[in-house]
Amino acid sequence: MKITDVKIIVTAPGRNFVTVKIFTDQGLTGIGDATLNGREKAVVAYLEDHLVPILIGRDASRIEDIWQYFYKGAYWRRGPVTMAAIGGIDTALWDIKAKAAGMPLYQLLGGASREKMLCYVHAQGGEIAEAVDNVAKWMDKGYRAVRAQVGIPGLPAVYGTDNSTTNTADRNNLPQEETWSTAKYMRHVPMLFEALRDQLGFDVELLHDVHHRLTPIEAARLGKDLEPYRLFWLEDAVAAEHQEGFRLIRNHTTTPLAVGEVFNTIWDARLLIEEQLIDYIRMTTVHAGGVTPMRRIMDLAGIHNVRTACHGAMDMSPACFAANLHLGLWAPNFGIQEYSPYLPETLAVFPGAWTVADGHLHPGDAPGHGVDIDETLAAKYPYERSYLPVNRLEDGTLWHW
């Protein structure tokens, strides 16, 4: 089966998405997500200028060889731009292979290990009472796991705290600047979880995202302070490149740890997984370089008692989300899947077979990964430059956002 054409489609139905669409001489097509939030055009250039010219004419069934060719063959390996580009191609090729087999992708991976997949949603509030109410609202809708974040007294809004900010980039402008104080944050967050457990009990899984902002000893302290509230996990406690820092955190707290949404390859996760310094690996199909490496990462994690928890924010397209669901349904060591409901306009451009019900997800049984792109509709939402915010300490020092 020959690859006859490759289109790179950029569309912004609510936010920017980059999609790889591969065409074959047998009439089968497949799509893959190649979105890198805030740096989309760099991936488009990498694809159009460097990968697409050497992809056309290749045998679409040789997914492994194509992956190795692009990963090893560039000489310059790794990095978010490279891996998102390879990820888009790899996911599209798996979509085609599963369609050719007439099967949902999870069947090709080895079949379902469970009936449905637990997911978690996001709740936040400017104040603790509002955050508790918002968690309760998700529970009323049948969700069993909720990530809870709260505004910090004395700090203006910053992502992962109150309602007024989201991770939606500030379109067409320069990056928005936010303000951070570790001391104020560390004093307040345990009070949120105390209130949540007092008012909602222990029958809901609670998660929290630190978004890389602490040092290892601070993260160790927060993990200890949160132990009475039995978190499902504490996410991205320290900057993700600070792998050795997890040894210190691990030695001090039994609060489960999750990390990896910004990792690009198995090498970023290897030490953390092999030393069992984390409980959940947050790598996701697009940024890890596709289904091919994700399967390896998930297997490595399984050997070391680390469970999967693919990054599922709405800044990766439904094509990535669907691939995550197929991998998760198969993975014997599946942990949980992040679910950030997409905007209606995003779902209209990317119609999909996946379903959500009763706090659980399922990828559906359509052949392939089950998500398509409506190119006519996509053309109505042109790209707009956007940036993620940056973060500064109160004295102006640039900090981790």
- Chain contacts with Mg ion (rule: CB under 5 A): 209
Asked whether position 209 contacts ligand CS2 by CB under 6 A, the answer is yes
Closest approach of ligand CS2 to the CB of residue 314, in Å: 8
By C-beta, is 209 or 279 nearer to Mg ion? 209
- Show the beta-strand stretches assigned E in 25-176: 29-33, 117-125, 145-150
33 binds, among Mg ion, ligand CS2, none (CB under 5 to 8 A by kind): none
390 binds, among ligand CS2, Mg ion, none (CB under 5 to 8 A by kind): none
315 binds, among Mg ion, ligand CS2, none (CB under 5 to 8 A by kind): ligand CS2
Who's near 31: CB < 8 A, 6+ residues apart? 19, 20, 21, 22, 91, 92, 95, 319, 371, 372, 373
Q: What's the token pair of residue 102?
A: 């007439």
Who's near 298: CB < 8 A, 6+ residues apart? 281, 308, 327, 331, 333
Closest approach of ligand CS2 to the CB of residue 342, in Å: 13
Beta 205-209 vs 233-235: how paired, if at all?
A: parallel
By C-beta, is 124 or 333 nearer to ligand CS2? 124
Asked whether position 313 contacts ligand CS2 by CB under 6 A, the answer is yes
Most distant CA pair in the chain: distance in Å?
A: 62
- Which stretch, 56-64, 286-294, 307-315, 374-382, contacts ligand CS2 (CB under 6 A)? 307-315
218 binds, among Mg ion, ligand CS2, none (CB under 5 to 8 A by kind): none
Asked whether position 167 contacts ligand CS2 by CB under 6 A, the answer is yes
Output DSSP code: residue 241.
T
By C-beta, is 93 or 319 nearer to ligand CS2? 319
Closest approach of ligand CS2 to the CB of residue 354, in Å: 18
Closest approach of ligand CS2 to the CB of residue 116, in Å: 21
Asked whether position 33 contacts ligand CS2 by CB under 6 A, the answer is no
- Which stretch, 49-57, 309-317, 325-333, 345-353, contacts ligand CS2 (CB under 6 A)? 309-317
Residue 252 is among the residues annotated as catalytic for this protein: no
Closest approach of ligand CS2 to the CB of residue 249, in Å: 18
Asked whether position 211 contacts ligand CS2 by CB under 6 A, the answer is yes
Of the residues 159, 280, 339, 381, which is catalytic? 159
Q: Which residue has the tokens 């009472």?
A: 129
Of the residues 122, 208, 211, 326, which is catalytic? 211
Nearest Cα to Cα of residue 197 among 266, 122, 151, 128: 128
Rounded Cα distance, 33 and 56, in Å: 18
Nearest Cα to Cα of residue 369 among 23, 65, 103, 40: 103
Residue 159 is among the residues annotated as catalytic for this protein: yes
Output DSSP code: residue 181.
-
Considering only residues 326 through 345, tell me which ones interact with ligand CS2, judged by CB under 6 A. 338
Nearest Cα to Cα of residue 245 among 273, 274, 219: 219
Helix, strand, or coil here: 75? coil
- Contact (Cβ atoms closer than 8 angstroms) between residue 38 and residue 388: yes
By C-beta, is 98 or 189 nearer to ligand CS2? 189
242 binds, among Mg ion, ligand CS2, none (CB under 5 to 8 A by kind): none
- Which stretch, 47-55, 97-105, 134-142, 308-316, contacts ligand CS2 (CB under 6 A)? 308-316
Closest approach of Mg ion to the CB of residue 33, in Å: 18
- Show the beta-strand stretches assigned E in 193-323: 205-209, 233-235, 257-259, 280-281, 307-308
Instruction: Sort 230 into a burial class: Cβ within 10 Å, 0-12 / 13-18 / 19+.
Output: middle
Closest approach of ligand CS2 to the CB of residue 282, in Å: 7
Rounded Cα distance, 260 and 281, in Å: 6
State which amino acid sits at residue 366: A
By C-beta, is 293 or 312 nearer to ligand CS2? 312
Residues taking part in catalysis: 159, 211
- Binding interface with ligand CS2 (CB under 6 A): 37, 167, 209, 211, 261, 311, 313, 315, 338, 388
